[in-house]
Structure formats: structure tokens, C-alpha cells
Amino acid sequence: MFDSSCNETHSIEVVFDKSFPNHDGLFHFNGMSCISGIKSSTFIAYENLTSAINIYPNPTSGEVTIEGGAQGKITVEVYQAGGLLLFKINEDNDNHKGRINFTLESYPAGIYYLRIISENVTDIRKIIRW
């Protein structure tokens, strides 16, 4: 995987959910598997952070609260559905007692994606602005 922000290439490993019958990473005819995580040398995506983060209200009329997640420095990137980065928030989650607030009021109704980045975990969540 190439990270254009730092011009580095990282190897990645897909982690399969072992509760599914086909968790060895190989294609099986009529098989069933589920990816539970993606690991690289610099981050772990989608692994156990999702349940620790609450984003509300969703759908929203504008105001958004992110609660929970990892402690320490947190970056929240807000993307429109087409992938354009709209804005970025850099916060120290310890100073905000695990809560970050922002607004989408100046943006039109639609689907947005939040990329929540901590020191070693990245989570991507969808939010709807009505």
C-alpha cells in the first residue's frame, strides 16, 4: 500500500474473522468469509475500534459528536461521498474527555465519511446529513 502523505510503501495483511468457515484467505467456491481487520506496519484499520466509537446523531441536521475511541491525539477527516476531503480536525482526546464536536451545517444534505485516526488505529464511518 502506498501512503502519498509521506511517500512510503507499506505491506498490508488482511485479517479474516475465524468464526466464519473460510478464514484462510483463499477463494472457496460457494464459500463464506469475513474480513475483520487490515494490518500494516503503521496502522490497524477496522479492528475493535468500531464498537468503541459512538457518532451521533446519525442522521444529523448538522451538529455531530464523536464519543469514545482511543485516547491521545485524534485526527478526524471529513470526506464527501465522492472522496473529496472537506476538512480535518486535530484534537487531543484526553483534553476533551473522549468527546469531539463539529458541524456539517454549511454542507448540503448527503452522505459523508469520517476517517478517525489515532496513534495506531484508523476507523472509517458513514454519516448522513439531512
The boundaries of the domain holding residue 20 are: 2-40
**Collapsed DSSP state (helix, strand, coil) of residue 50:** helix
67 versus 23: which is more confidently predicted? 67
Q: Are residues 84 and 116 in the same domain?
A: yes
Instruction: Report the number of distinct structural domains present in the chain.
Output: 2
Q: Are residues 7 and 58 in the same domain?
A: no
Q: Are residues 53 and 80 in the same domain?
A: yes
- Rounded mean pLDDT of 34-58? 64
pLDDT at 68: 79
CATH code for position 78: 2.60.40.3080
Question: Is it the case that residue 54 has pLDDT exceeding 60?
Answer: yes
Q: Are residues 94 and 119 in the same domain?
A: yes
Q: Are residues 29 and 88 in the same domain?
A: no
Q: Are residues 90 and 124 in the same domain?
A: yes
Q: Are residues 25 and 6 in the same domain?
A: yes
Question: Is it the case that residue 47 has pLDDT exceeding 50?
Answer: no
112 versus 27: which is more confidently predicted? 112
Q: Are residues 64 and 36 in the same domain?
A: no
The predicted-structure confidence for 74-122, as pLDDT tens digits, reads as follows 899 999 988 899 999 998 866 767 789 999 999 999 999 999 888 777 8
Question: Is it the case that residue 31 has pLDDT exceeding 70?
Answer: no
Q: Are residues 22 and 61 in the same domain?
A: no
What is the distance between the alpha carbons of residues 104 and 63, in angstroms, rounded to a whole number?
6
DSSP annotation of 96 reads T
pLDDT at 29: 58
- Rounded mean pLDDT of 4-22? 68
Q: Are residues 56 and 118 in the same domain?
A: yes
With a CB cutoff of 8 Å and minimum separation 6, the contacts of 27 are none
> For residues 53 and 125, is the Cβ–Cβ distance under 8 A?
yes
Q: Are residues 56 and 77 in the same domain?
A: yes
Q: Are residues 75 and 120 in the same domain?
A: yes
